[in-house]
Amino acid sequence: MRPAALNPLFAPLRSLPGVGPKTGKLFDRLLGQNGEEARCLDLLFHLPHGTIDRRARPKLAEAERDCVVTVEVQVIEHRPPAGRSGRGPYRVLVADETGDAQLVFFKANHDWIAKMLPLGARRWVSGRLEFWDGHLQMVHPDRVLDEEGLKDMPPVEPQYGLTEGLYQRNAQRAAEAALARAPDLPDWLDPAFAQRRKWPGFLDALRALHRPADPQAIDPRAPARQRLAYDELLASQLALVMVRARMKTLGGRATKAPGALAARLESALPFSLTGAQRAAIAEIRADLESEERMLRLVQGDVGSGKTLVALLALAHVVEAGRQGAFMAPTEILARQHYERLAPLCAQAGVRIGLLTGRDKAAERKATLAALAEGALDIAIGTHALFQESVAFRDLALAVVDEQHRFGVHQRLALGEKGEAVDVLVMTATPIPRTLVLTYFGDMDVSTLREKPAGRKPVDTRALPVERIDEVVGGLHRALDAGAQVYWVCPLVEENEELDVAAAQERFELLRQFFGDRVGLVHGKMKGREKDAAMEAFQRNETKVLVATTVIEVGVDVPNASIMVIEHAERFGLAQLHQLRGRVGRGAAKSTCLLLYKAPLGEVSKARINIMRETEDGFRIAEEDLRLRGEGEILGSRQSGLPGFRLASLDVHGPLLNIAREEAKRVLENDPDLQSDHGQALRLLLHLFEREEAAKLVRAG
């Protein structure tokens, strides 16, 4: 249970004064985690990305031009638009003792101007002052205030990332209201440590960022920002070491096998293993045979052949008379793994079953019974494998594919389905070495950097979306020559309904050209429809598959040789790389077309250039990290690295090791978080929603 002290932070944003149902909805869209209502905390963690500095208070004659200033002036004259049309701007002449300036309003509301700027009144106006056509002017001042109003104006105004319909004022007011209600919490940092770095307390840090004293206050290197980043890193590291320690205390069990079964499977393959695959399998086998519990990450770029590594690891425990589970993040992938592996397994006498959320009741019952009595050796499935009703006779190994979709908590749940279950996690996101720790704690890592022989490079090109007609023309020829094509539609504002609409529209357009050779798959489809669409493509019945990013992870159709990505500028590098990895798997030469909407920003341009330069996932991951902080990436939350909200790893990376050491120290001295310091750390875990770890310690 969440400690009551944190309730004000987890209260819905709508409960704040000034946040009505309409703005509330916009905040939910902007900040809601996993489609839930936005909470006060979500806004407080939504740090300003910039500021407007209104502190300069010059006389008009001395004011620097093209800068934001706040000037005290007297209203001299109103000059409504001339002529009968009434168009053109409404000008108000103002002056101080050093000179005059015009305030310019387009499409002005005359009543508002008359009310805010009555003749002769003294006013403070704040905005960008420019020199134009021989005089000073300020177009649409940001603020027009009297003496009273000036007192309330923040001298440095925070600027927030917004969504359409929401204004800075909404975010600023809500942040103020949320701060006003935020509770003072006991500090979970060692006071001497915080002092040495000149870090403020948690609440003071939030205040310093949402009420910046100067523009530097929000810099990622500023003390307040470092403090919060550290808090987030500490929470994640603490959660990781606790889960890890828990696994250790649960103990391990040696699973020994001579390796005949794996050899049989291997000899049934039409190709030989890569050196990297062999090395990974050897490492895993050694882990399985040891008394220690295995927690290993297999990191391999798309197409590096991780599935086979998983199968041979599973074969090891099966040969020892025990069972294995192989978990995929989606139904499509679970089914694909099952269909791929079933014939191989049948040949080698390994019994495998499929368990997803959509099995018929009778089927499911039979599968569950078979698992419980040991009539099945391997269960392949989705998170349905976690459910309580699933029991194994003797589960030895759990393989979790494409791990980033699952939380630590779920890994643990699967680990508890057997006695001392070894866990193998596979990820297609080539995570830079520096970050492996962050995401996986002290897991052992096997890396598949080498790709299977015979892979041809993918010809990657970028072209503006205006040339879509040419692309369609090219597809005609390619389809006639027997090619298959993925056509990926972009994420729109992380809003699935809009994604689907875009994909639907593209589907209909392509149908006009290619008729029923075009298929469609998207996240809003029912599971069975989705499977049917995927299968039709896999069986080469449909030739063009229009998709949202549901195909991003893991899908394998070797005959597909063309990948079209629309609005490539909206995707992150990791995502583009994953998508491109769907082609270049078969004998044919493959092409990836990145359709972009001009003009491209600097960061998007850099991303597209990197895609054209290299297919090395590790290099792309490093570049991604470098570019990440610098541009907005739509859908970045879904892509690659799971997002930290406050820590930006390029800047705060050095704090990671400190957080890790601290987490270990805590675990040694106070494993159940019983001391006062430990109690404060529990708050931290809850604050960053790592309660799965908090659950592991005894309630205090």
The answer to whether 118 touches 75, Cβ cutoff 8 Å, is yes
Among 259, 452, 474, 678, binds ligand ADP (CB under 6 A): 452
For ligand ADP, the closer CB: 7 or 540: 540
Query: Is 299 one of the binding residues for ligand ADP (CB under 6 A)?
Result: no
Find which of ligand ADP, Mg ion, none residue 11 binds, CB within 5 to 8 Å per kind.
none
Q: How many CA atoms lie within 13 A of 215 on its CB side?
A: 8
DSSP H stretches of helix in 268-377: 275-289, 306-319, 331-348, 361-373
Query: Is 304 one of the binding residues for ligand ADP (CB under 6 A)?
Result: yes
Bridge partners of residue 50, in order along the sequence: 159
* Minimum distance of Mg ion from residue 554's CB (angstroms): 4
* Minimum distance of Mg ion from residue 329's CB (angstroms): 10
Query: Is 311 one of the binding residues for ligand ADP (CB under 6 A)?
Result: no
For Mg ion, the closer CB: 166 or 310: 310
Which helix (H) or strand (E) is 261 found in, with range? helix 260-267
Binding residues for Mg ion restricted to 524-563, rule: CB under 5 A: 554
Query: Is 193 one of the binding residues for ligand ADP (CB under 6 A)?
Result: no
Handedness of CA 310, 529, 548, 510 (dihedral sign): positive
Query: Is 308 one of the binding residues for ligand ADP (CB under 6 A)?
Result: yes
* Minimum distance of ligand ADP from residue 577's CB (angstroms): 12
Query: Is 584 one of the binding residues for ligand ADP (CB under 6 A)?
Result: no
Q: Name the DSSP letter for residue 3.
A: -
Tell me which residue has tokens 């001298």.
155
Query: Is 575 one of the binding residues for ligand ADP (CB under 6 A)?
Result: no
Among 585, 607, 686, 690, binds ligand ADP (CB under 6 A): 585
Sequence-separated contacts (24+) of 497-503 with Cβ below 8 Å: 497/524, 499/523, 499/548, 499/549, 500/524, 500/548, 502/548, 502/566, 503/546, 503/547, 503/548
For ligand ADP, the closer CB: 145 or 298: 298
Among 155, 158, 300, 329, binds ligand ADP (CB under 6 A): 300
Query: Is 300 one of the binding residues for Mg ion (CB under 5 A)?
Result: no
Find which of Mg ion, ligand ADP, none residue 23 binds, CB within 5 to 8 Å per kind.
none
Find which of Mg ion, ligand ADP, none residue 353 binds, CB within 5 to 8 Å per kind.
none
Beta-carbon contacts of residue 450 (< 8 Å; ≥ 6 apart): 274, 275, 276, 304
Draw the binding track, 337-376, toward Mg ion (x: CB under 5 A; -: no contact): ----------------------------------------
For ligand ADP, the closer CB: 24 or 303: 303
* Minimum distance of Mg ion from residue 343's CB (angstroms): 18
Find which of ligand ADP, Mg ion, none residue 558 binds, CB within 5 to 8 Å per kind.
ligand ADP
* Minimum distance of ligand ADP from residue 505's CB (angstroms): 30
Binding residues for ligand ADP restricted to 127-156, rule: CB under 6 A: none
Find which of Mg ion, ligand ADP, none residue 236 binds, CB within 5 to 8 Å per kind.
none
Q: Is 343 exposed, middle or buried (0-12, 13-18, 19+ CB in 10 A)?
A: exposed
The length of the chain is 700
The identity of residue 519, as a single letter, is: G
- Of 64-72, 249-257, 269-277, 366-374, the window that binds ligand ADP (rule: CB under 6 A) is 269-277
Query: Is 306 one of the binding residues for ligand ADP (CB under 6 A)?
Result: yes
For ligand ADP, the closer CB: 218 or 302: 302
Q: Name the DSSP letter for residue 329.
A: S
Bridge partners of residue 423, in order along the sequence: 295, 398
The pair of three-digit structure tokens given for residue 699, joined into one six-digit string = 């309630």
The answer to whether 394 touches 605, Cβ cutoff 8 Å, is no
Tell me which residue has tokens 């440095």.
156
For Mg ion, the closer CB: 326 or 596: 326
Find which of ligand ADP, Mg ion, none residue 81 binds, CB within 5 to 8 Å per kind.
none
Query: Is 342 one of the binding residues for ligand ADP (CB under 6 A)?
Result: no
Separation of CA 153 from chain center: 35
The answer to whether 666 touches 681, Cβ cutoff 8 Å, is yes
Find which of ligand ADP, Mg ion, none residue 303 binds, CB within 5 to 8 Å per kind.
ligand ADP
Find which of ligand ADP, Mg ion, none residue 172 binds, CB within 5 to 8 Å per kind.
none
DSSP secondary structure string for all residues of 497-550: HHHHHHHHHHHHHHHHHHGGGEEEE-TTS-HHHHHHHHHHHHTTS-SEEEE-GG
Among 556, 616, 650, 691, binds ligand ADP (CB under 6 A): 556
Characterize 409-444 residue by residue with b for buried, 16 or more Cβ atoms within 10 angstroms of its Cβ, and e for exposed.
Answer: bbbbbbbebbebbbbbbbbbbbbbeebbbbbbbebe
Among 233, 314, 385, 428, binds ligand ADP (CB under 6 A): 428
- Of 241-249, 273-281, 499-507, 597-605, the window that binds ligand ADP (rule: CB under 6 A) is 273-281
Taking the C-alpha atoms of residue 294 and residue 557, their distance in angstroms, rounded to an integer, is 32
* Minimum distance of Mg ion from residue 326's CB (angstroms): 11
Query: Is 303 one of the binding residues for Mg ion (CB under 5 A)?
Result: no
Query: Is 490 one of the binding residues for ligand ADP (CB under 6 A)?
Result: no
Taking the C-alpha atoms of residue 259 and residue 282, their distance in angstroms, rounded to an integer, is 11
For Mg ion, the closer CB: 142 or 556: 556
Query: Is 538 one of the binding residues for ligand ADP (CB under 6 A)?
Result: no
Taking the C-alpha atoms of residue 577 and residue 432, their distance in angstroms, rounded to an integer, is 15
Among 126, 237, 307, 484, binds ligand ADP (CB under 6 A): 307
* Minimum distance of ligand ADP from residue 585's CB (angstroms): 6
For ligand ADP, the closer CB: 3 or 452: 452
Beta-carbon contacts of residue 366 (< 8 Å; ≥ 6 apart): none
The Cα-based distances of 674 to 164, 452, 525, 678 in angstroms read 46, 52, 48, 5
Taking the C-alpha atoms of residue 348 and residue 16, their distance in angstroms, rounded to an integer, is 63
For ligand ADP, the closer CB: 259 or 452: 452
Separation of CA 219 from chain center: 22
Would strands 67-79 and 90-96 be described as parallel, antiparallel, or unpaired? antiparallel
Residues near ligand ADP (CB under 6 A) are: 271, 273-274, 277, 300, 302-308, 428, 452, 554, 556, 558, 585
